[in-house]
């Protein structure tokens, strides 16, 4: 286990010394600071961000619970409350303390609290590491890159056509006919190659010779045998093929 960075907070010097002596026996502990008041504790937590705080309840304002309130429960390090009065126990656990030590406590009770804190912090670190690794893997995971536009060579000129402007695409021998609201264009390509590079959320192959922009579909007319006639926004009617019924079934299930 990596070093555990600990802050000791108690307004009584002898109490701080007692915790310090007990922690000194553990080589995995690093005491980063000691504080004699709630104000010092708040400043030390903000400055040093300890892993674990031994926090006295009764102190000059703010008291131990006031320290938690000042830092914020969601930003507060792990806490073991220390006090001479056990009536604070329920309130201590209400603010998610790892444990609660009542003075005077012996070495066995202290070590039990410390080991419990270590175990929970180790679980928390493992969970944080797992979340960080998942985030890293998601970042490194190659994202599919789909075509954003096509190069059209036509009548001695070359221009770009945004794929969002395409209504449907039809196979035409060694070419594909790309249809848009402003006209059709012949591109030397294959339908299968285009299908691989178009976003499948937006473009569906509905028969062997046709791909449709799903956002341009206005109506579907069932024809039986899992076949449909697709009516596009411009009135174009395209019959689908039973062989590609799974694609349309996915669309209809949305």
pLDDT tens, residue order, the chain (254 aa):
578 999 999 999 999 999 999 999 899 999 999 999 999 999 999 999 999 999 998 887 888 888 988 888 778 888 898 888 766 555 555 555 678 788 888 999 999 989 988 888 888 877 776 776 676 566 555 666 888 999 999 888 889 999 999 999 999 988 999 999 999 999 999 999 999 999 998 999 999 999 999 999 999 898 888 788 999 999 999 999 888 888 877 777 76
Q: Which of 119, 140, 161 is the last residue of a domain?
A: 140
Here the CATH number for the domain that contains residue 228 is 2.40.50.1020
Phi and psi angles of residue 82, each rounded to the nearest 5 degrees, phi first: -130, 130
User: What Rg, from alpha-carbon coordinates, does the chain have?
Assistant: 34
Work out how many domains the chain is built from and give that number: 2
Using CA atoms, how far apart are residues 249 and 226, in angstroms rounded to an integer?
9
Same domain, 16 and 126: yes
Strands 157-162 and 166-172, sheet pairing: unpaired
Here the CATH number for the domain that contains residue 110 is 3.40.50.2300
Task: Pick the closest to residue 2 from 71, 52, 73 (CA basis).
Answer: 52
Same domain, 189 and 107: no
Range of the domain at 128: 4-140
pTM equals 0.52
Same domain, 17 and 128: yes
Same domain, 46 and 93: yes
């Amino acid at each position: 286990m990596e070093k555990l960075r600990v802050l000791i907070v108690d307004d009584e010097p002898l109490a701080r010394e007692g915790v310090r002596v007990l922690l000194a026996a553990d080589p995995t502990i690093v005491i980063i600071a000691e504080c004699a008041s709630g104000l010092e504790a708040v400043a030390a937590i903000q400055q040093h961000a300890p892993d674990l705080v031994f926090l006295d309840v009764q102190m000059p304002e703010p008291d131990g619970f006031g320290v938690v309130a000042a830092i914020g429960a969601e930003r507060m390090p792990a806490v073991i409350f220390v006090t001479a009065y056990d009536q604070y126990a329920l309130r201590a656990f209400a603010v998610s303390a790892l444990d609660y030590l009542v003075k005077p406590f012996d070495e066995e009770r202290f070590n039990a609290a410390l080991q419990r804190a270590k175990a929970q912090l180790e679980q928390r670190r493992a969970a944080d590491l797992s979340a960080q690794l998942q985030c890293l893997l998601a970042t490194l995971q190659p994202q599919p890159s789909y075509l954003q536009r096509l190069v059209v060579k036509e009548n001695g000129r070359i221009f770009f056509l945004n794929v969002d402007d395409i209504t449907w695409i039809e196979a035409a021998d060694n070419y594909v006919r790309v249809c848009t609201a402003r006209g059709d264009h012949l591109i030397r390509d294959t339908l299968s190659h285009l299908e691989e590079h178009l976003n499948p959320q937006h473009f569906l192959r509905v028969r062997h010779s046709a791909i449709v922009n799903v956002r341009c579909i206005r109506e579907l007319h069932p024809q039986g045998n899992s076949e449909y006639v697709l009516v596009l926004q411009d009135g174009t009617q395209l019959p689908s093929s039973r062989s590609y019924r799974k694609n349309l079934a996915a669309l209809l299930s949305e």
